[in-house]
Structure 1
Amino acid sequence: MSGTSVDGVDGALVEFPLDSSVAAGTALPRTLAFRSRPFPAPLRGQLQALQAPGHDELGRAALAANALADLYAGVVGDLLEAAGTAASDVSAIGAHGQTVRHRPELGYTIQLLSPARLAELTGIAVVADLRSADVAAGGQGAPLAPAFHATVFAHPRLRRAIVNLGGIANVSLLEASEVFDGRLDTTGSVPAAPVLGFDTGPANTLLDLWCERHTGQAFDLDGKWAAGGRVLDGLLESLLDEPYFRIAPPKSTGRDLFDARWLERKLAESGAGGAEPRDVQATLAELTAITVAEPCRQFAAREVWVCGGGARNAHLMGRLAALLPGVSLADTGRLGIDPQAVESMAFAWLAHRHLAGLPGNLPSVTGAGGPRLLGARWPAGGNPIRR
């Protein structure tokens, strides 16, 4: 997985039990290894630049896709080495790629990757292009993780919210599993009480952008810089006055909306262009906390479990806790899954669904016309992995 934070690649080696539950897509996964690699600076810069139109865009995108496949292959090699596993023992790589455009309202979403190159480098089949079938069926193509969250995180008696604080924040709202079967069946039909989920708005993408611009650091460690600032009420009001926040789900978003230009416009509109940078950082953190906490509160979640890089932002976690009094809030590590690994595990699960011939989307989340088999498969190549 490489997400909208554009900071690197996360990979998980995941095992599914070989029994009848696999055919139904209900087998619970076990993580054998988790590894990450940061983006080399030139690749990171190119991926960020490709978020907007530019010169020789198609050629640059193709080269970036090749470089990304090479980096993915390196992470695969790290995983195999860590787990003492041979490439021949792996059924498939579920590969997300790097989103550079997400415009489901126009009928497309683009995740850069060269799946054929990745299959050749690793000697492992690759399942990729995991969003476009949902978009073709009229869906948002995102978020896809709620189906996985329902499978592994639903509680028998309590309503839970799973919050992913990546570049973009999203929530999965899970009814108690005694109320419904929270796992997808063999037809991929929607549970009796549908799982709900959507992108709430920006998280690390704007926090990281502002922090790097003003401190030279790639991210705000533990949220300490934001914690030293004060929330600017006028700016916060302007940030919250964004039509996206008023759209009813299904909905998804990305850097196509929440980028530097959006932030600069809001700073100008609110008269905060000359504000103390750490106060702007504190206000951006408050924006994320408010837009995440509100749906959890409306859903009356008893427990909120956080994953993604933002789970390590102590200031942001503290603000969420303050906005959700009486609600248990912690990261998914307490449920046995590293919060950094959840999303890459979700794409392993989606590849697992694909190989079983089963749908991976939830129409109640994405708005698609029905369950769809997600992704396409590239067969294993003939070369051993190159590092």
Structure 2
Amino acid sequence: MTSPLRTFTSSSLSFRLAGALLAATTLATVPLAPALAQDSAAEARIRKIEAEIRALQRKVFPGGDGRFFEPQIAPGNESAASPANVSPPATTAVTDILVRLDALELQLQTLTARSEEQANALSQLDARLTLIETAANAPLVAGTAGDVPKIQPSATLPVAAPARAAAAPAPAPAPAPTPAAAAPVAAPAVAAPSPTRLAAVQAITKPQTADAGDDEYSYGFRLWNAGFFPEARQQLTKFVEQYPNHARISFGRNLLGRAFLDDNMPEEAARWFLRNYQANKNADRAPDSLLYLGASMIAMKDTKRACIALAEFAETYPLIASGRLATEYQTNRAKVKCS
């Protein structure tokens, strides 16, 4: 039989153990509630801060596409946390600028292509103008000659030996050589040219423009400029005969004289220089032809006629003698001693 004291003691012990467990459980759960409350408050603050940062990013980086940050809150509704609450605009200033930049790039590409085409056309035009100007200034390379009113006897310049011509008295005035007399002398052809020379001549292209006369002259100039003097004489003679009234006739006759003079044929050159000068003293290359006439006389060692031609050049064209052809004039003047 169990004693009442033992039964009470066991019951008391069980009660105490249950109380201890209940107290432990209570103590374990009591701090958890404040901790959970603190965690919820911190999480809410963090979410609010994130939403405000996204709102700030929306102000700094506006845009309706995925390249920019989307706002998480709207003005007056700071508690909004989802970007889905704010609908992006259909278009923005940035997207409009990007579209306009694309259009500007396309226009710039078009303008660049057009400018390159125009630059190419201008380059070709400049090359043609350079060729024309070179032809116009060709006499500047070696001087120019022309008509000498006081040298009317120069029509007989091709008289035999230069020494005899220098010793003889001034011949009586005579008419200038006629084109028929000068033309045959101006068109000697090169005998049996080598294949290499033929290929080089054929490599020089003839211009093809609306002005056929200018094309003939320009082709003759190209031949002369390349050093093919016989071919140049043949071509320039063709130009002079077929286009006697062309705007470049003065250039053609003068250059034809140059083609003779540069090929060491001063007598034939003098014929063309004199003819060009006498044809029109106000023509474009009349001063050049007169100066080159003096150069031809110097080459023929006819000092007297050279001095007459140079003096006539300085008297008739003082501005050109001291300007455009000053160097050529002084060079030729230094080669002879005139009284």
Calculate the TM-score normalised by the size of structure 2. 0.23
**Structure of higher RCO (CA pairs closer than 8 Å, 6+ residues apart):** 1
- Structure ranking higher in helix proportion: 2
Structure 1 length normalisation: TM-score? 0.21
